[in-house]
Amino acid sequence: MAATLRRELGLGEAELASLSLPGDLLALFPHWHAGSRMGFRPPAKATTLVPAAAGLPMGDIRLQLAPDSGAAPLVLPLLRDLETRLDRATTVHVMLAPGSAATALRRIARRVLGPRSRIRFVVSGSATAFARDHAVACRGPKGEPLLLVPRGFRPVRGKEDEPLDARSASRALGVRVRRSLLYWEGGNVLYDGHCCLVGADLVRENCGRLGLTAAQVRAILESEFGVPVGVLGAVGRARFDGTQDKLARSGQASYHIDLDVCPLGRVNGGTPTVMLADPALGLTVLPRVLRHPLVRDWHGLPARLGDRLLRAEYARVAALRRPLLAGYRRQLERLGYRVVGLPELRVDADRRVAGLGNMDFTFCNALPALRRGVASVFHLPWGIPALDTLAERQWRRAGVQPVALSTFAPIAHGMMELAAGLHCFVGTVPARSGIR
């Protein structure tokens, strides 16, 4: 089509882009003028992802705070806990949405944190309150710090939001912002220094939107990320609906892989290790979970009836998720990972008949990093001892120290009601002088 439009109407890259044709990708097809896809060449490597692992320093991090996102009540108490629990070498950058509300939010945050806070506030807008999704930390050819942003954010009918205000973010953080050729969200991109894991839906969406093959999408990812890429999930199972301009069927266990997988890297120099959601493990403590006042208060039914309904729902969803997660396990083991399970209990929000608050309990959406020289993972507990204790036991089995970022359980519950977790809210910023 591009070749025909160029030949018949003399259209260039800008005109093709206005018609929602990815003209910037044509350079990867040297014979496109003749209407041929032959000879595809991925772009030259220009960036390398910054790894996040239990044995590496956290580095600087960033959070997005906007008054209209619904996330401010979660971020404000989280900031205090981040400052208390993280190593002093970590600077927390809070990206405030521009506007008059930014001043009020900054004033409120300062009252929460105190006058001597190490947390830094800067003004920069983004398309989402989930900092992990709109940019990933990279380094350029000479080691310079970069933020790589997706091609666009959540496009609908050919229109898409800018993932990040590149100019203000670059000025505030001291890093360059570079745009990817592909669509993705950072929750579907995980890199621990061993392998970059991406979700199958990411691949399928780019095939559908940009007319690429799965192999071509993977080649571009490996070139842009500068590291080997492994796909989790089934690309063939996912389906992109061009008439609705959205993914119609998922090939993943969850819409983002960071809800089900937490790579830890080479823990204490050993085999690369990854944590994987395990519904069967969660069901082993379900009777004690159902007796917890938090759960009973949220279903508001006679205890025996509420317990029976929730028990059946957790078991039903576990049965649906088990084969998908077993597929993840096989894929991760083929990539050379040691896999350790983490308990989970999930419901189907559209079908459940008991429970008015958050009834999903997962642990993989966490932050692995060194803490005081010890391989660790930072997490938010649910306030349900049977689950929290079991998860901590599994993390220790993997060789890392679990660090609860907060004892204020409503933070974790509030995030999950937004279909998110700690990892979703916290993005990374590459240090200007190299990895510390």
- pLDDT tens profile 172-190: 898 999 999 999 999 999 9
The C-alpha R_g of the chain, in whole angstroms, comes to 22
Q: Is 294 exposed, middle or buried (0-12, 13-18, 19+ CB in 10 A)?
A: middle
In the structure, what pLDDT confidence band is assigned to residue 362 with cuts at 50, 70 and 90? very high
C-alpha distance from residue 353 to each of 144, 299, 312, 359 (Å)? 52, 9, 11, 11
Contact (Cβ atoms closer than 8 angstroms) between residue 110 and residue 79:
no
H helices then E strands: how many in the chain?
15, 21
Helix, strand, coil content of the chain in percent (nearest 5) = 40, 20, 40
pLDDT of residue 355: 84
Q: What confidence score (pLDDT) does residue 131 get?
A: 92
Higher pLDDT, 349 or 320: 320
Element (H, E) at 240: strand 239-241
Residue 138's nearest CA partner among 151, 149, 128, 129 is 149
CB 232 within 8 A of CB 200: yes
CA distances for 330 relative to 41, 69, 141, 243, angstroms: 31, 38, 34, 34
Comparing 143 with 117, the larger pLDDT belongs to: 143
Question: In this structure, what token pair is assigned to residue 57?
Answer: 């320093």
21-35, 143-157, 312-326, 376-390, range with the lowest pLDDT:
21-35
CA distance 60 to 79: 14
Other CB atoms within a 10 A radius of the CB of residue 257 amount to 26
pLDDT band at 158 (very low <50, low <70, confident <90, very high): low
**What one-character DSSP code corresponds to residue 43?**
P
Do residues 405 and 78 make contact, with C-beta atoms less than 8 angstroms apart?
Answer: yes
Q: Map out the domains of the chain as residue ranges.
A: 2-34, 48-429
Rounded to 5 degrees, φ, ψ at 374 are -110, 135
Its pTM stands at 0.92
- Which residue, 180, 131, 148, is CA-closest to 49? 148
The DSSP secondary-structure symbol of 378 reads E
- For the chain, the distance separating the N- and C-terminal CA atoms, rounded to the nearest angstrom, is 49
Give the span between the Cα atoms of 329 and 73, in whole angstroms: 36
Q: In terms of DSSP bridges, do strands 189-191 and 196-199 run parallel, antiparallel, or are they unpaired?
A: antiparallel
Residue 428 pLDDT grade (very low, low, confident, very high; cuts 50, 70, 90): very high
- The pLDDT, as a whole number, for residue 198 is 98
CATH top-level class for 48-429?
A: alpha beta
Average pLDDT, whole number, for the chain? 90
pLDDT classification of 35: cutoffs 50, 70, 90: confident
Under 8 Å between Cβ of 197 and 339: no
Q: Please list, in sequence order, all residues whose beta carbon lies within 8 angstroms of the beta carbon of residue 43, skipping any fewer than 6 positions away.
A: 28, 181, 220, 223, 224
HSE-CB at 153 with a 13 A cutoff on CA atoms is 20
The Cα–Cα gap between 21 and 153 comes to 17
Residue 435: the pLDDT is: 37
**Cα distances (Å, whole numbers) of residue 105 to 26, 124, 128, 170, 290:** 44, 14, 17, 22, 38
pLDDT confidence band for 96 (50 / 70 / 90): confident
What angle is formed at CA 297 by the lines to CA 293 and CA 298, rounded to 5 degrees? 125
At 392-417, the pLDDT tens digits run 999 999 999 999 999 899 999 999 99
